[in-house]
Chain A
């Protein structure tokens, strides 16, 4: 049976030609902002690296307080190329969140969320939150001292939510404190629950991107811009980017392997300078600056409510920016976008310097 006969056999049953036709027909606009179109693909590449390296790690990782640290140590020292796989998993996780943020802000500033791409934006925003969830749940899994206390501080914030805070805290930790039960729970979330939800939003996001094509920025100059075929021209360019990203990952993982640290000891005092992963630092730093009490309301509660509202506003952006839906460029949302970028950068730096 030759290759074309296999393809014909599969096509007869799965209608694959419809998908390949979709890719063949897709055109990518060429203009001075086209570079930003590669960010989504780069985020997807990091996600694929996470899935593959994560599956490899799963073969050796043991999700209990007694064995987690030792199993990661075993991966790092005894498993052939285990150190490389684990370091790539850690570095790719960070690059994924970095690219996801850059992708989100580029789409925001270019108004890529406007009609008819509202659902694409909403699914993308959900994917960003899910990536942060992956980062938070995965950070605890090596069960080292830093991760233990960062998770303790991070989950403490949940306890501040009015009425249901205590309940939320217990659900997140699987008890009153961060224990082996929390580790097992985070592991389940990291490798089963989040991947399941992510698969749904990712498929939605990718199908819509392929179906609707790339959004063109607002303005008459973009109406008549040249178009590049997605297959093979853009896809090959994407592949160049992915290859270089792989090189970067290998370089980072080899020269700066991710440290394992010291095994978590719940009875030890918290290490100095404890802070969450860098992508949560801007929120952590903001909470530090809010006074203990604002009028009669708990300061931290105001901060949490503020971030929850900001998250909700981010999801609802396509429905809030009415001018964009009328194909008009508004200064307000551009300003909000740049202020958001400036705020995240400034507060992240302050988190490390202050």
Chain B
């Protein structure tokens, strides 16, 4: 009866397990918690600086992940409050280290954030190279040289109320980044020793990128760290600007790198994209900035008679011809649509033609007449196709109008004949 014996044992084990689980369930949740002396004491402090950590910590992402005060500050959180003796909590023998100095902060955070195995417990996709990045940054290098004024982890992420960057309240949330950086970079006193300007936030806020992100809430628009990096924040070098901008404007970068401007700019030691577009104050460029008009940027470098001048004039003429044809295509389709003709297929092709103008504006960065004209020719072919749709639709509309002009008098004539017929009948045989 081995089987029966095993069965009884299984039942006994099961009952014991159920008892343990049952008891665990009936014990109040709070009963198992150890009192946190750090929070209890600091909540009761009258000095704001000492009270703040206890007030802010419950909202901290670390609190949510069960990272306690002692994990960063050391000490013993189970003692001190009931005994009314803070020295028991602040025990050096228990590793108490108090508030870390700025130069110690990156290493302190990195104890967990650079530990691949440990961070996997929280988020397998979280990066763990922040310390390496930071050490390569301007901030990190200056800190290593003993400059304690530069930004460390807590300067941007905050302290005791740290929120994930995905939280809209976080200083590192995309729409808050510019203001976070500006806390130091817009402060003239703080920036004076470094000799760097303090108008970046003002320029960025008025730029196309700033307006998109800060006014329209378009999270695809870049902010400070999109170009400078975050933990490894460094100003991009002259010849690497196009790589930075090319992170988003990939075709513009590729075309520029193939253009005669690439080597010329490097030789002249001038910035790549920024020479025409600016950097923090990048604006939406209009087509009149290309060409040889008084508004053009090209003529700032290319004088009349130079090949570059001719190229600029050719590019402007190409853009103008495509825009003129597109305007005709739009007008014809709209006129046919207002007349009630279905122009869905024409409008579908019109999207492709509109895209051709965007491609052409991008192809300006070839600064090469042959390559640019290839794109313009393709766009003109697309646009002529749409104009064909528009003409067919307008012809259809004309036919409808002609048909209507015949149909309505014919119908009225039939109605009139019927009225005459009724009169004729009623003249012959009047209604009594």
Contact = CB atoms under 8 A, between A and B. Distances in A.
Contact of A227 (B342, B408, B415, B432): B432
B408 A77 contact: no
Contact of A250 (B408, B422, B432): B408
Interface in A194-236: 226-229, 232-233, 236
Interface stretch (A167-175, A253-261, A335-343): A253-261
B340 A240 contact: no
B431 A228 contact: yes
A243 B418 contact: yes
B312 to A, nearest CB: 42
B116 interface: no
Contact of B340 (A228, A239, A246, A255): A255
A229 B431 contact: yes
B23 interface: no
B341 A233 contact: no
A30 B418 contact: no
B411 A246 contact: yes
Contacts of A232: 425
Contacts of B412: 247
Contact of B418 (A84, A236, A251): A236
Interface in B405-419: 407-408, 411-412, 414-415, 418-419
Interface range for A: 20 to 34
Contacts of A84: 400
B421 interface: yes
B342 A237 contact: no
Contact of A240 (B404, B407, B418, B431): B418
Given A226-B432, A243-B411, A236 B340 contact: no
Contacts of A243: 411, 414-415, 418
Nearest to B396: A83
B112 interface: no
A76 interface: yes
Main secondary structure of the interface of B (DSSP, over half): helix
Contact of B342 (A30, A76, A229): A76
Contact of A244 (B407, B415, B431): B415
A73 interface: yes
Contact of A260 (B342, B407, B408): B342
Contacts of A246: 411
B404 A257 contact: no
Contacts of A30: 431
A233 B426 contact: yes
Contacts of A250: 404, 407-408, 411
A6 B185 CA distance: 103
A73 B347 CA distance: 13
Contacts of A226: 431-432
Given A226-B431, A247-B412, A251-B404, A240 B345 contact: no
B388 to A, nearest CB: 14
B169 to A, nearest CB: 27
Contact of A233 (B414, B415, B431): B431
B406 to A, nearest CB: 11
B347 to A, nearest CB: 11
A126 B267 CA distance: 87
Given A226-B431, A233-B431, A257 B341 contact: yes
A233 B422 contact: yes
A73 B348 CA distance: 13
Nearest to A81: B403
B344 interface: yes
B323 to A, nearest CB: 27
A257 B419 CA distance: 30
Contacts of B431: 30, 226-229, 233
Given A83-B342, A243-B418, A247-B412, A254 B432 contact: no
Interface string B335-346: 000001110110
Give the 4 A-B residue pairs with the shortest CB-CB distance, closest first: A257-B340, A247-B411, A243-B415, A76-B342
Interface in B379-432: 400-401, 403-404, 407-408, 411-412, 414-415, 418-419, 421-422, 425-426, 431-432
A240 B342 contact: no
Contacts of A76: 342
Contacts of B403: 254
6 contacts: A226-B431, A240-B418, A247-B411, A254-B400, A254-B403, A257-B342
Interface in B310-369: 340-342, 344-345
Given A76-B342, A254-B400, A254-B404, A236 B411 contact: no
Nearest to A246: B411
Contacts of B419: 240
Contacts of B401: 254
Interface in B169-225: none
Contacts of A254: 340, 400-401, 403-404, 407
A310 B378 CA distance: 64
